[in-house]
Structure formats: C-alpha cells, structure tokens
Amino acid sequence: MGKAERGALGQSTELPALGSGLGYRRVHRGELFLDRRGIDFLEIVADHFMSADPAVQSELALLQAHFPLIPHGLDLSLGSAEGLDPAYLDRLARVVEAIDPPWWSEHIAYTRADGVAIGHLAALPLTREALDFLCANIHAAQRRIPAPLILENITTPFRLPGDELTEPQFLTELTERTGCGLLLDVTNLLVNAANLSFDPSEYLDQLPLERVVQTHYVGWARRGDTWVDDHGSETPEPVWELLAEVAARCPLRGMVLERDRNIPALAELRPELERAREIGRKAGRWD
Amino acid sequence: MGLAREQALLARLFVDGSYRDRFFADPATVGQEANLPAARIAAIGRCEVEIRAFAHSLIHKRLVEIRGLLPATERALGDRFGPLARTYLEQHPPGGLDKPAEDARGLSRALAALPDGEVPPWISELARYEGSRLIEAAGGLGVLPRLVVYRFPVVNLQRSLLRGDPLGTPRPRLTLVLEPAHRRRA
Ligand SMILES: [Fe+2]
C-alpha cells in the first residue's frame, strides 16, 4: 500500500513524533491553559466536537491554536456489517478536516446494528467474514477522510465460539489490506489477557509491530472476577512495563493517557505524562 | 453473510432487557426471527451468563455517566436513584450523539412524568429542571429563550442539594425559570 493512498499509513516513521499526550477532558480546560508544559499533544474525542454550537467550535479552535490535536472517534462502527452511517461519517470527516491532523483513530468494533445503538464498543468475531466487512468500511472511511487512520484494539469480556483467526492474525491481515496503522491500547491488551487467559508477550510477538503508531494507557478496575478498562485510576506498574516494551519494539509516534473516570486535577496526572515521555525518550522515539 | 443478522441480534440482547429475558428463556423459538442458523442461535444461547454480564456492565457505565449529569436529582432520591435509573436504562437503549446527556434528559423526563406518589412531587419538578439544563449536543442554542413554570423553587432546591444543606420537606411555590430554547437536532 503506497503512501499516496488516501487514509493509508505509509511508513509510520514518516509521521511526526508527537510525544506524550493527554486525552482531553473539559474539566482540565482551565488548568491546561494555565500551564501547557509537559503536554505535547491532545487527543480529542471527535464526537464531542461535531456540534455546530459556536461555543463548541470556538473551544476546538482554541485547543487547536495551542496544541497539536489528534481526533479519536467513538461511534463510526467500522465493524458494522450493514455498513457505515453516511451522515455520521460526514460529521466525523468535517471534524478531522478542520483539524488536519497527522493521523486520526477509531476502534475495531461495532457500536450499532439494525437501528440499535449499543452505546459501547462491541467486539467483532475474528472471522474472514468480519474482516471483509471491516476492510470495506475502512476503505469507505478512507475515501472520505484522507488523513491516515490508525485502529485501536478494544476489550471484550467474552468471545463467542467460531473464531477462525487469532487477534494478532486478524490485525496483521487488517493492516495489510487497509494500510492502516495501529493504536495499541496497552491497558486493553492486559485486561483482555487477564479475562481471556492469554499471554500478552506472545500476543505482542505475533503483532505487526512496525504498524503501531500510538498507544493508550491508564488504570483498570476489577469487578467480581472480571477486569474492566474503566479508565478510572492511576496507571499501574504492569501497564508501565508493557508500555516500555512496546516503546522499545514499535515505531511509536505518540502515547496518550486516557483517563475518563475519577478525573483528578491535571497536576496529579502530570507525573504519568512525564513518565510516558521518558519511556519514549529512552526508547529513542523522540527527544 | 450472517454477520449483519448476528450483530442485530446481539445488539438487541445487549440493550433490550425484556427481549434478553424472552430470548434466554427459549433461544430456539425466540431466536427464529433473527434468521440465523439454528446452531448459531444455540451457541449464542449458551453464552447467557457472558451476555447478561456485558449488558449489565453497559447499564452500569451509563448509570455512572448520568449520575454526574443529574447530581441534585440523585441526592434528592438517595438510594432510590440507582434502581429507578436502572429500570429506565433497561427500557431505553442509548441514543443521540451525546449518549450520556441523552440518557440523563430521558431519565429526568421519565421521573417528571411519574404519577404523583411514586416520587415526591418536588423531586419530579427538580428532575425536570435539572434535565432541561443539559443542552443538546448536536443542536446548539436556539434564538428565543422560553419561560417555564415549576411548582417548586427548583433553582434553590438544586443549589441547596449540591451544597449538602438540610432541606426538610420542600413546600410548593410557583417558580418561573428562563430556559434557553433548545434547537431540535439536525
Ligand atoms: Fe483506548
């Protein structure tokens, strides 16, 4: 897949190294502008900026004036066998166009089917059929949005029987067929490894590591005997260790702290951002 | 070619509590309308525990999000907020661009519409007021604000609850509130 292909990645090392980024949450707005040091870029939830409300659009313009921005979509439902929602794709495309980012990201998941919105990311079966639908939808998204797309691994507490591929095989073929990069959520990887009983290092060994452009990291929670990516606590040691391994082995261009619950003051998150930057720096991913 | 039908069935099982109960009581019969191979329906039927757990985690996630959007209503209802919100969410799949806000608005309308006696009337009015303050994500503000009448002093009640002041039993008092007109979603 050549670099000129719309929405495809080319060589990920040709993308700018953004460094240590933060998932933007509105509660941090004041603090962010009081002290921008230590935040190399922001990942924004594209869905939160689709409104034509002038207040929302001026917020976007303000963020854009001060930080590199990476749009992260939640509800494109790339895995929907019924195809993409053209109106949603259009709204998403307008947000991405307004930002003109080095890349944007979405999930390997479906969020709606037959008029029902699930309100969350649901896992695809690891089958050839699912892969075909996913690739067709990604090609449609790439035709509409020329910026390179990177795809994120999600968590799932269970898998239905009938898988034909392992997840790394699925991701390898997916990236080859679409030219997309990967957004490796290391917390999600460890949560799945714990819930579905597999070895995260073996998973990593089988992944197309040269395709990994960005990571997500954050804390997790345990509910009953299930691990949950609740995005609600400080990043734990096993996640830092895996992040360091990923930084050493993949041509990372950015890492994003993805805190969504129990959001503390920004000052409390800064040490995590600093630690991530240091991991990337030590691995030679940025200065 | 069954993936679209399988996703439609799973999505419904994830969000529709009463359909979920009917399906797992008799997957072979209820699943017929999904138009999937019988073996696939049976395989999905055997995942009852996992699918129910996933469905509950979705409700839990939505519940956590609306708690933050209707904080005064939650405090006013105390222990009853959780069960009432859960019942509402089970019956109303997520929707709209800003799903948490949509859930919160829907719940506040549902609470306000409960017959007198189900919840104290001042809480119904407070829920209606708090929900009305959440602006449509994809709409933006309309041009003309409108005057809305409440039977209780909802603005003061909300403020007191959020400060944690003791309330006693609130007395009715007609209250006029100027609300931004919410433009319908495009
Ligand atoms: Fe993530």
Quick check: is A13 in a domain? no
Q: A125: which chain B residues are within 8 Å (Cβ-Cβ)?
A: 3, 6
Q: From the list B43, B54, B58, which residue is nearest A161 (CB)? A: B43
A58, A79, A104, B93 from B69: Cα distances, Å? 23, 30, 29, 18
Distance spanning both ends of chain A, measured CA to CA: 30
DSSP string, A219-285: --EEETTEEE----SPPPHHHHHHHHHHHHHS---EEEE---SS---HHHHHHHHHHHHHHHHHTTS
B15 and B51 co-located in one domain: no
Mutate which of B5, B6, B7, B66 to disrupt the A interface (most A C-beta within 10 Å)?
Answer: B7
Quick check: is A6 in a domain? no
pLDDT reported for residue A195:
93
B65 and B82 co-located in one domain: yes
d(CA A68, CA A27): 19
B140 and B150 co-located in one domain: yes
Asked if A51's CB is within 8 angstroms of B140's CB, the reply is yes
> Token pair for residue B72?
């005064």
ipTM of this model?
0.91
Asked if B139's CB is within 8 angstroms of A116's CB, the reply is no
pLDDT reported for residue B135:
62
Ligand 1 center–CA A258 separation, angstroms: 7
d(CA B54, CA B170): 40
B70 and B60 co-located in one domain: yes
With an 8 Å Cβ cutoff, is A122 touching chain B? Answer: yes
Q: Between β-strands B175-179 and B146-150, what pairing exists: parallel, antiparallel or unpaired?
A: antiparallel
Question: How many domains, chain A?
Answer: 1
DSSP string, B54-122: HHHHHHHHHHHHHHHHSHHHHHHHGGGHHHHHHHHHHHS---SSSHHHHHHHHHHHHHHTSPBTTB-HH
Three-class SS of residue A40?
coil
With an 8 Å Cβ cutoff, is A62 touching chain B? Answer: no
Compute the count of residue pairs across chains A and B with CB atoms less than 8 Å apart: 102
B176 and B102 co-located in one domain: yes
pLDDT reported for residue A188:
97
pLDDT reported for residue B186:
32
B22 and B38 co-located in one domain: yes
B174 and B89 co-located in one domain: yes
> Token pair for residue B5?
């039908």
With an 8 Å Cβ cutoff, is A94 touching chain B? Answer: no
The H or E element spanning position A72 is: strand A69-72
What average pLDDT values come out for chain B (186 residues) when binned by 10 residues? 92 92 95 92 95 92 90 94 93 82 92 87 92 62 74 92 86 86 46
Q: Are A257 and A272 in contact (CB under 8 A)?
A: yes
pLDDT reported for residue A66:
94
B57 and B85 co-located in one domain: yes
Q: How far is A217 from chain B (nearest CA, A)?
A: 19
Average pLDDT over every residue of A191-209 = 95
Query: Which has the minimum average pLDDT: A48-52, A123-127, A149-153, B40-44?
Result: A48-52
Q: A160: which chain B residues are within 8 Å (Cβ-Cβ)?
A: 43-44, 47
> Token pair for residue A248?
């050493």
Burial of A153: CB neighbours in 10 Å, binned 0-12, 13-18, 19+ = buried
Confidence of residue A109 (pLDDT cuts 50, 70, 90): very high
Asked if A47's CB is within 8 angstroms of B139's CB, the reply is no
d(CA B102, CA B100): 5
Confidence of residue A1 (pLDDT cuts 50, 70, 90): very low
* Position A7 pLDDT exceeds 90: no
- For B4, the closest chain A residue by CA position comes to A81
d(CA B185, CA B137): 8
CB atoms within 10 A of CB B75: 16
pLDDT tens for A209-224 read 999 999 999 999 988 8
Ligand 1 center–CA A248 separation, angstroms: 20
Q: Which residues are CB-neighbours of B57 under 8 A, at least 6 positions away?
A: A157, A223, A228
- For A82, the closest chain B residue by CA position comes to B4
Question: How many domains, chain B?
Answer: 2
* Position A13 pLDDT exceeds 70: no
Asked if B10's CB is within 8 angstroms of A113's CB, the reply is yes
With an 8 Å Cβ cutoff, is A26 touching chain B? Answer: no
Q: A110: which chain B residues are within 8 Å (Cβ-Cβ)?
A: 7, 11
B66 and B4 co-located in one domain: no
CB atoms within 10 A of CB B145: 12
With an 8 Å Cβ cutoff, is A54 touching chain B? Answer: yes
Q: A55: which chain B residues are within 8 Å (Cβ-Cβ)?
A: 140
Ligand 1 center–CA A154 separation, angstroms: 7
Structural domain range at position A178: 18-282
B6 and B61 co-located in one domain: no
Structural domain range at position B29: 1-46
> The domain spanning residue A189 has which CATH number?
3.20.20.150
B74 and B164 co-located in one domain: yes
pLDDT tens for A47-94 read 989 988 888 899 999 999 999 999 999 999 999 999 999 999 999 999
Instruction: Determine the residue type at A280.
Output: G
Please give the DSSP secondary-structure letter assigned to residue B183.
P
B2 and B92 co-located in one domain: no
Quick check: is A32 in a domain? yes
Quick check: is A272 in a domain? yes
Q: How far is B96 from chain A (nearest CA, A)?
A: 9
* Position A3 pLDDT exceeds 80: no
Quick check: is A8 in a domain? no
